[in-house]
Structures are given as C-alpha cells and as structure tokens.
C-alpha cells in the first residue's frame, strides 16, 4: 500500500475508535453484539469487504443484521463472490482487524495482510461492494460506518441496496458475479416464475382440501414479513396471510419467529385456537430460517412443529422421485443413464428419526460438524446436495455439470413433449431456479415447500407424519476451558479428554434408541449436551447422566 492509501485508512479509522474491553470473533453469523458497540467493527468489515473484492477481482457483499437476536443487537457479515459466506481462510484476519486497538496498528495489520495475499492496488480494477441491512433501527448508522470503511480503500465503491433479507443480498452477489441482472425485482421475478412453473407441472392439477389452500406466515416482525407482502402479490395461485409483518407494532424476534417457535415449540404471538388445522410457517428476523407448524386443536399455545429436518426430508423425497422418473426407459440420445449423485448433509443435532427415514429411502446421508459453512461445503461435493439444520436453515445445491446435463436432457425430451420424463426434467430445472443456492432462504424455501405439497396433494398433517421425531433434550454444562474437549466424526465422538467417551457409551447403552454426544460451544465456556431416546423421560435421564459426566471430567469443580 502506498502512503496515500495508508493515510486514508489512518484518518478514517480514527473516526471509529474501538470501544474499551470489546473483543469480537467472526463466526458463522459474522460479528454480532449489542448495536451500541459495533460501529468500529462494521467500519473495519467495510475495509475487509473491499479487500476481498480486490483479491478476487469480483463483487462482494456486506450485510448488517443480527438475524434472530433481540432488536437491540446487530451484526455484520460478508457475502463472498460465490454468494456464500466469507471464506474460512480470511476469518482470522477478520478477527485481527476487528480487535485491532489503534488506527496505527490497524494500518500495519492491513499492510502485512495485503502483502501476504498479494492484493494489488493498481487502479486497473476497483473494488465493488453491495450493502444491505435488515429493519433494525441501528442499521442506518451502522450502514454509514460500513460505507466509510469501503471508501477508505482507494477506488472502492459501495452500492446501498436498501433494506433486504440476508438471502436476498447473497443472491444478488452471486447473480451479479454470474453476469445476471440482480435487482430486488429480479429476485422476486425469478422466485415467482419458478414457483408458477412448478405448480403448473402438478400432476392433473391435484388440489388440496379447502383448509389447506391458505398459508399463514409469522414474519417475526422483521424484514421477511415485509418482503413476503410484496412477493405474494406475484403469486396469484396462493393465499398467504402474513402476521407479525412488523407493521402492527410488534417487536422484532420477541415471542415470534422461527427460532422462538422451533426452540420453545409454542405458538408465536398473533396465532390462536381458531388457526387449528391451518398450515402455518414462521420466518426468522432476517428470513434465512424457516419452520412450519400447526396449532393443536385442543390447546391454543401448543403446536405440532415441522422443523428443518422435515423440510429436508420433503425436499429429498421429491428430488429422488423426479430423478427416478428421469431414469425411466426412453429412446433419447443424451446419456439418460447419467447417475446423478444425490447427497443429504446433516449435523449430529438432526433427529435420529429423520436420519433413519432418509436412509430408508436409500439416500446417501453424511454428517459434518455444526455450522452452515461446513454443511454447505459438503453439499457442494454432490450433483445435488441438500442440507438443513433442525432450526430451519438450509438449501439445495446443484452442480454446474448436472445442470448442463439436465438442460441437454430436457432439450432431447422436448421432442416427445408432455412425457413424464420431460416434466421431471422441467421440475428439477425449476427447483434449481427457485431455491437460493447461495444460502438458506426462508422465502424461496417456503415456495418450494408449497409447490411440493401441491404436487403430492398433501396437507401439513400428511407431511408431519413422514416420521415421528425421537424425544430429545439439550443441556449446557459450564466449564473452565471448553477447548479441553476435542471431538471427531462430525462432533459425535470425544477424543479428548480420555475415558469420557467410554463413560458416555455406557450411559447410552442403557436406553432403547439412545444417542448422546457432547461438544464445546463456539462462543462461551460451556459444553453442549445432546441426548435422544425412545421416550422423553429416557432422553431427559440420559442427558442428565451425560451432563454429570461432563461436569465430572471438565466442570468448574474439576481443573483436571
């Protein structure tokens, strides 16, 4: 970096001093904290986004959101040129600059990193960053800090895309880098036209019963409800009622939203006994998570939850069916025997009943450590990779090679227009356009669920009955040092400290369909315990036994 560039960073960063005692870490959610202490962090992430753009010679994105956190929190994360998350290799640098104590130290860190990464400031190509934010009141001033960070890199430009869902910003970055149009209207048009295409391919236009024609959506009083109000006007075949859209005076994520519904298993605010039997869905604060539920007819506060595991199962079942139809005998020239690799990716937190169901369908199921970045990376290894966490965050990835083959196959099949095989090819192509392949997206996921339920002629009850979840329990155990626990096999086995895994195995063996694991938290000094068994009392008992073991080996009363 030349002196002019160093001086520009030095001067602008002095306007955004680091608050005393603040130490943040860039995780799956980027940086997240109380909004009042985030300005300097967001400013520095603006610099980071510009450097990432220069390094990759591509457009990047910066999103200001704290997703399902309370309204006073906020956060910031980067969308890489692929539309996915910031590459893991850059996370240590993100941590270093966010926590750099002085402007001078910040300049030195950036200078060293720029040399190591061979990032050129030659003026031939400038950095370009798309900025987005959710509906939090703190978003406006933090957006200004992000802009100043971007502008402190010579020649960098920032385009404010306004209030967006997180998945919309990621979609825009991916689309722009593929040379496509990427306004918000383009996003809505792609989703709505792909949805209409899928619905038009419903066999004999199967219709669900009248109750099921309507979908009621909890918008978490956030950006998702606002955007769904726009999108639903483009979907004339669907009746969607949005509640908790943020316009009725409710508080973001307070007693509402996918995170609340999935964890508490109770109705969000604004839902009542009269909604019993109606298909309901819940988005989280920035609309990257989605769960479904139905209100129980005998209790206005209880729900039957249809979580991310069941969304994954529905998607996997549908895609497997379409691939099977494509394999039917045909006299076409394109290699119809192309064996598409379909993979389902879960974490150890996926309910064991869902894993059993998927394996019974004959699907390849693999596990990764907890965290969307690990799931996404693994899913990308397949022709079609589907991943979801139980919390409702997930998506489907299609390889370029498979889509090219599918396109060619569709062209061949179009000679026998209207064949079942061609319809299957068209459905898969429509799914690849409807689903957001950059990140989990509650709006695109919701439309895909709705299209598949129409295709199957299923009510939410039919869907919910695919399998019955095993009862489970999650606990936390405070420890002196969470890093003392080292796991393997996608966090299902403890490698260190020695002997604890054998002790866990002894407890698990006592319960029918017992399963339990422990893992260190990514953010606090606690060990997380997960247990499941055939009945709730057994799951509770197993979780308590394993929590006692964790405390015995690692707890505050034991420094060994």
Q: What is the pLDDT of residues 330-364, one digit of tens each?
A: 555 555 567 899 999 999 999 999 999 999 999 99
| Domain total in the chain | 4
313 is in an annotated binding site: no
In a domain, 559, yes or no: no
Mean of the pLDDT values across residues 439-453? Answer: 97
Instruction: Say yes or no: 302 and 227 in one domain.
Output: yes
Share of the chain above pLDDT 90, in %: 87
Q: Half-sphere exposure of 218 toward its Cβ, with a 13 Å CA cutoff?
A: 37
Cis peptide before 497 (omega within 30 of 0): yes
Query: By CB neighbour count within 10 A (0-12 exposed, 13-18 middle, 19+ buried), where does 214 fall?
Result: middle
* In a shared domain, residues 350 and 459: yes
**pTM for the full predicted model:** 0.95
For the segment 393-403, what is each residue's pLDDT rounded down to a tens digit? 999 999 999 99
* Per-residue pLDDT at 522 exceeds 90: no
pLDDT of residue 122: 75
449 and 398 inside one domain: yes
Measured distance CA(281)–CA(292) in Å, rounded:
4
Alpha-carbon distance of 109 to 459, in angstroms, equals: 56
Q: Check: CB of residue 239 under 8 Å from CB of residue 367.
A: no
What is the pLDDT, as a whole number, of residue 197? 96
Say if residue 268 carries a ligand binding annotation. no
What does the pLDDT average to over 206-232?
85
- Domain boundary pick from 419, 445, 464: 464
**Out of 13-27, 146-160, 193-207, 211-225, least confident range:** 193-207
User: What residues have CB less than 8 Å from 179, skipping those under 6 apart?
Assistant: none
Q: What is the CATH number of the domain that holds 491?
A: 3.30.310.50
Consult the annotation and say whether 520 binds a ligand.
yes
Q: Are residues 300 and 443 in the same domain?
A: no
Stretch 204-208: mean pLDDT: 60
Single out the residue in 404, 439, 464 at which a domain terminates. 464
Q: Has 17 been labeled as part of a binding site?
A: no
The answer to whether 409 is a known ligand-binding residue is no
Domain assignment present for residue 182? The answer is no
- pLDDT tens, residue by residue, 448-490: 999 999 999 999 999 999 999 999 999 999 998 899 999 999 9
Strand duo 394-398 + 384-388: pairing = antiparallel
522 is in an annotated binding site: yes
Catalytic choice (53, 67, 245, 432): 67
- Picking from 464, 495, 530, the residue at the C-terminal end of a domain is 464
Residue 248 is predicted with a pLDDT of 83
pLDDT digits (tens, 9 = 90+) for 373-428: 999 999 999 999 999 999 999 999 999 999 999 999 999 999 877 899 999 999 99
For residue 130, give every residue at least 6 positions away whose Cβ sits within 8 Å of its Cβ, in sequence order, or none.
59, 60, 61, 62, 79, 158, 159, 161, 169, 172, 173, 176
CA-nearest of 440, 546, 530 to 491 is: 530
67 is catalytic: yes
Which stretches within 99-151 are classed as H helix?
103-117, 139-151
Q: What domain range includes position 509?
A: 472-554
Q: Measured between alpha carbons, how far is residue 260 from residues 152, 254, 266, 394 in Å?
A: 39, 8, 8, 17
CATH number at 68 reads 3.40.120.10
- Residues near 281 by Cβ (< 8 Å), separated by ≥ 6? 215, 216, 217, 218, 290, 291, 292, 293, 446, 449
Q: Is 304 annotated as a binding residue?
A: no
The verdict on 446 and 479 lying in the same domain is no
| Res 211: pLDDT | 46
Polymer length in residues for the chain:
560
Measured between alpha carbons, how far is residue 273 from residues 218, 220, 340 in Å?
Answer: 15, 19, 45
- The reply, when asked if residue 391 is annotated as ligand binding, is yes
Q: Assess if residue 73 is contained within a domain.
A: yes
CB 77 within 8 A of CB 173: no
Q: Are residues 313 and 454 in the same domain?
A: yes
When computed from its CA atoms, the radius of gyration of the chain, rounded to whole angstroms, is 24
- Using an 8 Å Cβ cutoff, are 276 and 262 in contact? no
Name the pLDDT band for 558 (thresholds 50, 70, 90).
very low
- Same domain? For 53 and 116 the reply is yes
187: in domain: no
Flag whether pLDDT at 557 surpasses 70: no
Q: Which residues pair with 128 in a beta bridge?
A: 157
Residue 519 assigned to a binding site? yes
CB 169 within 8 Å of CB 85: no
- Residue 302's CATH number: 3.40.120
């Amino acid at each position: 970096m030349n002196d002019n560039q160093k001086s520009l960073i030095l001067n602008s960063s002095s306007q955004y001093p680091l608050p005393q005692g603040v130490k943040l870490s860039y995780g799956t959610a980027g940086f997240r904290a109380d909004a009042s202490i985030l300005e300097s962090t967001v400013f520095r992430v603006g610099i980071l986004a510009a450097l990432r753009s220069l390094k990759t010679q591509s457009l990047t994105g910066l999103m200001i959101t704290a997703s399902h956190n309370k309204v006073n929190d906020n956060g910031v994360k980067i969308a890489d040129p692929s539309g996915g998350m910031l590459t893991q290799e850059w996370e240590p640098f993100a941590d270093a600059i966010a926590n750099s104590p002085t402007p001078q130290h910040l300049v030195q860190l950036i200078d060293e990193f720029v040399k190591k990464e061979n990032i050129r400031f030659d003026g031939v190509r400038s950095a370009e960053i798309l900025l987005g934010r959710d509906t939090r009141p703190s978003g406006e001033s933090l957006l200004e800090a992000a802009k100043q960070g971007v502008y402190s890199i010579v020649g960098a430009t920032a385009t404010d895309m306004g209030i967006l869902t997180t998945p919309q910003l990621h979609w825009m970055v991916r689309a722009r880098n593929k040379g496509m149009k990427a306004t918000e209207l383009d996003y809505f048009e792609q989703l709505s036209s792909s949805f209409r295409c899928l619905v038009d391919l419903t066999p004999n236009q199967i219709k669900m019963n009248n109750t099921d024609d309507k979908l009621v959506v909890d918008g978490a009083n956030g950006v998702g409800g606002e955007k769904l109000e726009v999108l639903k006007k483009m979907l004339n075949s669907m009746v969607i009622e949005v509640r908790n859209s943020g316009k009725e005076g409710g508080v973001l994520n307070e007693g509402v939203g996918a995170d609340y519904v999935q964890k508490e298993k109770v109705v969000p605010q604004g839902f009542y006994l009269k909604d019993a039997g109606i298909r309901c869905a819940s988005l989280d604060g920035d609309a990257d998570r989605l769960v479904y539920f139905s209100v129980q007819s005998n209790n206005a506060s209880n729900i039957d939850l249809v979580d991310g595991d069941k969304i994954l199962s529905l998607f996997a079942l549908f895609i497997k069916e379409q691939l099977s139809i494509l394999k039917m005998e045909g006299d076409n020239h394109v290699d119809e025997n192309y064996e598409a690799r379909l993979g389902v990716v879960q974490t150890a937190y996926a309910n064991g009943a869902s894993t059993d169901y998927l394996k019974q369908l004959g699907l390849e199921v693999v596990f990764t450590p907890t965290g969307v970045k690990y799931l996404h990376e693994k899913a990308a290894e397949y022709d079609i990779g589907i991943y979801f966490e139980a919390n409702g965050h997930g998506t489907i990835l299609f390889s370029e090679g498979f889509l090219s083959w599918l396109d060619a196959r569709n062209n061949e099949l179009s000679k026998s227009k209207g064949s079942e095989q061609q319809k299957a090819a068209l459905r898969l192509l429509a799914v690849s356009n409807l689903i957001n392949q950059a990140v989990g997206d509650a709006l695109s996921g919701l439309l895909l669920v709705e299209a598949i339920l129409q295709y199957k002629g299923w009510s939410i009850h039919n869907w919910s009955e695919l399998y019955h979840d095993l009862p489970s329990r999650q606990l936390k155990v405070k420890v002196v040092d969470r890093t003392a626990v080292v796991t393997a096999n996608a966090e299902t086995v403890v490698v260190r400290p020695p002997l604890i895994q054998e002790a866990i195995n002894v407890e698990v063996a006592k319960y029918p369909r017992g399963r339990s694991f422990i893992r260190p938290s990514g953010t606090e000094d606690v060990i997380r315990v997960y247990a499941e068994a055939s009945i709730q009392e057994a799951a509770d008992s197993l979780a308590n036994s394993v929590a006692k073991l964790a405390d015995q080996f690692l707890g505050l009363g034991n420094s060994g």
